[in-house]
Amino acid sequence: MSRFGWRSPACGSAFILALAVAAPLAEAQETQPRDLPVPKFNPSVPGDRFFGVPSPYAAGDLTFHAAATLDYAREPFSLARENADGSEEIGAIVSDQMFVHVAMNLSLASYIALNVSMPFAVLSQGDAPAGDFLAFEEPSGPGFGDLRIGMRIRLFGKYHDPFQLAAGGYVWAPTGTEDNYVSDPMGVEGDQRDHVHGMPHLIMGGRNDWFVWSAMVGPHLRQFSRVGPVTMGHQMEWGLGAGVLLLDKRLLQLHVETSGAVDVTAPDARTTNAEILGGIKFRIPSADMIEIGAGAGPGISTGIGTPLARALFQLSYTPVIEVPKKDFDKDGILDDVDACPSVPGVPSDDPKKHGCPVVTPADRDGDGILDVDDACPNEPGPPNADKSKHGCPERDQDGDGFLDDIDACPTVKGIASTDPKKHGCPDSDKDGIFDADDACPDEPGVASEDPKKNGCPLRDKDGDGVTDDVDACIDIPGIKTTDPKTNGCPGDTDGDGFRDDQDACPREKGVDDKDPSKRGCPKLVRFTEKEIVILEQVQFDFGKSTIRKVSDPLLDSVAQVLKEHPEVLKLEVQGHTDNKGSKVLNAKLSDDRAKAVRDALIKRGVDGNRLVFKGYGMDKPVADNGTEAGRQQNRRVQFIVVEKKPAEPTTVAPTPAPTPAPTP
């Protein structure tokens, strides 16, 4: 007897699925659909730097780009037969597949890029191999792929920056030809052929004069499909590329890139795709808006759709994005032709003077006194009968606006004063108290009769708005109160008698405990942003949904927490079981127990509109079901916050977050 499995074209060896044990008594073969997601190459947007890895920019202010990419894949989908003697026979379901991707991209304001891409399958051929329980139809020839529409928003960095960040997304419309292995699959139940799928993604990258790089990651959200026992659904896709720019105007790019995807619901070798490509792009010097590129490389994973090898050829219309020219001195003459780029100037026919200021040789300081008569030709000054001072400025050494002859501190900038002995002297902290009388000359303060405090600020060491002289907790930010013993100390948010800085659970009423990490915390219940955590399990009669009396205090505490937190608008009571027994019975038992707990909370005064319940059976274990201790942890009830009222702004001074207590 022979066995069948998927053949990994990337590795060149057989990967055998245990189809023989899936239906040992089956007599008829299951014919597989021809609308499987075989095409795995997702071309990047025209104007990007790599073939399959997108770039994190919008190329141009209002710039159009277009590209046609020829994509050939060898043996993207094969079946391997292992005979009884150990030999292997290969049947290529899709032996050769070729697409022409026609794409356009419009960049707006260098921030947003809108793009569209349409794949045309010009070749799709192969065999029709069959396994013990699977049969495949051969491809029916050329057809259409799924139309892709995308948008990208630049978040950080510009086209020529070494680090850039962008967010983008693709949406595929169901335009593909059915039954030809060129479109996305129908649903598992076979009743949802036409559907839209999409992929949001985050892109990083950058460039300098000679190096370019880019990286992408994002989830591909799509319908589930099944091939025999293999289920394929949502995938996490990634890509990474790096290259070098050569020739004088960076006309040539050599690069390597890799991309792939892994199924997030059932990750294994059959649902993991990865390829690597080496590529070259060349911009034609005589028509620099035209770029040609080519690339090739092997598949490096065993996933369905990964080809043995892939080859690409691309022809693009992509305008050159020039490096922005600068005008440092803002004189309207760009730095590359400005002979004086750091000084504003005027145009000139002489390249050596173009952009330089015009200087009058006869009066260099421009004070109206010719240099031959100016005692200070480089400093503007008024006329003076004294030739030694003619054209010299009235001196103000410290530049504080007070001439030296009336400045009590001529070498140090100061302020005006009616006291001639202080006029022009400094007030470093500008608090109105001269440095000579200021006990704190570098810190603005207030006047005081005490010379040691005169000019010093009223201290607030912890920055809580309560000055140290009346702050009962100088080193800890707090709030203002009328009680001198608590003024400036942290508050007691939950009102349990423990200050927030000493309360391990400042938002939940609790009790005292010798352990600081538990002081102020409740004994039975903890409230978090997403869950009401119970520190004991709800006890039920064996195999029933009847709640034991011993759990009454625990449910009383849960009800009290809900009353103390009206911002919780919707709480889901979840029931969970271990893996003992059938899945159907466990699902019903967990649902009945969740409902019983909800009813018990309603009896304790909780509004039923705030409560929903759901049993998850054995589907969400939190511990190993292989041990008794693990199964005991999995038999549980959880209270998950589903909806909360938005927090209202408060004017109360913030208090430091306490050190969280360890979660039991």
What's the mean pLDDT in 175-186?
Answer: 73
The token pair at 91 is 């049947």
Give domain status of residue 124, yes or no: yes
Looking at residue 572, which CATH number applies to its domain?
3.30.1330.60
Positive or negative, the CA dihedral 115, 116, 121, 127 is: positive
Of the candidates 216, 131, 119, which has an alpha carbon nearest to the alpha carbon of residue 172?
119
User: What is residue 174's predicted lDDT score, i.e. its pLDDT?
Assistant: 86
- The per-residue pLDDT for 188 is 45
CATH number reported for the structural domain that contains residue 72 in this entry? 2.40.160.40
C-alpha distance across the termini of the chain, in Å:
56
Q: What is the pLDDT of residue 23?
A: 37
465, part of any domain:
no
Q: What is the pLDDT of residue 573?
A: 93
pLDDT band per the 50, 70, 90 thresholds, residue 318:
very high
Where a domain ends, among 277, 298, 317? 317
The whole-chain average pLDDT of the chain stands at 82
- pLDDT tier, 624 (very low <50, low <70, confident <90, very high otherwise): very high
Average pLDDT over residues 443-470: 78
Q: Which of 299, 305, 297, 311 is nearest to 10 (CA)?
A: 299
Q: What is the pLDDT of residue 360?
A: 55
- Whether the Cβ atoms of residue 200 and residue 167 lie closer than 8 Å to each other: yes
For the chain, what percent of residues have pLDDT higher than 70?
84
Give the number of other Cβ atoms within 10 Å of residue 469's Cβ: 9
Residues forming beta bridges with residue 314, ordered by sequence position: 69, 293
Identify the band that residue 504 occupies on the pLDDT scale cut at 50, 70 and 90.
Answer: confident
Please write the tens of the pLDDT for every residue from 124-180: 888 766 655 566 777 777 888 889 999 999 999 999 999 999 999 999 998 888 777
Does the pLDDT value for residue 330 go beyond 60?
yes
Helix (H) or strand (E) holding 101: strand 88-108
Q: Which of 292, 317, 342 is the last residue of a domain?
A: 317
* Mean pLDDT along residues 558-575: 92
| Overall domain count for the chain | 2
Confidence at residue 88, expressed as pLDDT on a 0 to 100 scale: 56
What's the per-residue H, E or C state across 457-472?
CCCCCCCCCCCHHHCC
Is residue 401 in a domain? no
Best-predicted range by mean pLDDT (183-187, 279-283, 476-480, 489-493) = 279-283
Domain-located, residue 463: no
Give the total residue count for the chain.
664
Q: Is the pLDDT of residue 113 over 60?
A: yes
The verdict on residue 340 lying in a domain is no
pLDDT tens digits for 422-445? 777 887 777 778 887 887 887 787
Residue type, 578: D
Q: Give yes or no for residue 392 having a pLDDT over 60.
A: yes
In the prediction, which pLDDT does 42 show? 92
Higher-scoring residue by pLDDT: 455, 15: 455
Q: What range does the domain containing 566 cover?
A: 525-644
Does position 475 have pLDDT exceeding 80, yes or no?
Answer: no
DSSP string, 350-404: STTTTTBPP--TT-TT-SSS-TTT-SSTTS-----SSTTTTTPPPP-TT-SSS-T
**515 close to 527: Cβ distance less than 8 angstroms:** no
DSSP 494-553: T-SSS-TTT-SSTTS--B--SSTTTTTB-SSEEE-SSEEEESSPPPB-TTS-PBPGGGHH
pLDDT confidence of residue 351: 85
Report, as an integer, the average pLDDT of 31-46. 76
pLDDT at 341: 86
The torsion angle over the Cα atoms of residues 589, 591, 596 and 597, rounded to 10 degrees, is 110
Any idea which of 263-267, 318-322, 323-327, 609-613 has the lowest mean pLDDT?
323-327
Domain end residue (candidates: 317, 337, 362): 317
**Does residue 143 sit within a domain?**
yes
Confidence of residue 80 (pLDDT cuts 50, 70, 90): low
**pLDDT (mean) for 101-108:** 96
Return the pLDDT at 168. Answer: 96
For residue 585, name the pLDDT band (cuts at 50, 70, 90): very high
Mean pLDDT of the 618-627 span: 92
* Report for 99-113, 431-445, 634-648: range of highest mean pLDDT: 99-113
In the predicted structure, residue 290 carries a pLDDT above the cut 90: yes
In the structure, what pLDDT confidence band is assigned to residue 621 with cuts at 50, 70 and 90?
Answer: very high
Is 223 a domain residue? yes
pLDDT score recorded for residue 239: 97
pLDDT score at 193: 54
621 vs 412: which has the higher pLDDT: 621
- 495: left (phi > 0), else alpha (psi -120 to 50), else beta? left
Residue 232 lies in a domain: yes
Residue 190 has pLDDT above 50, yes or no: no
More confident residue, 317 or 652: 317
539 versus 359: the higher-pLDDT residue is 539
Question: Does 121 have pLDDT greater than 80?
Answer: yes
Average pLDDT over residues 575-594: 92
Q: Which of 1-5, 81-85, 105-109, 383-387 is predicted with the least confidence, judged by mean pLDDT? A: 1-5
Task: Report whether pLDDT(664) > 60.
Answer: no
**526-554: average pLDDT:** 89
% residues pLDDT > 90 (the chain): 35
pTM exceeds 0.85: no
CB 584 within 8 A of CB 542: no
The pLDDT assigned to 653 comes to 45
pLDDT at 652: 46
> Across residues 382-390, what is the average pLDDT?
83
Given pLDDT bands bounded at 50, 70 and 90, which one contains residue 283? very high
Confidence at residue 658, expressed as pLDDT on a 0 to 100 scale: 42
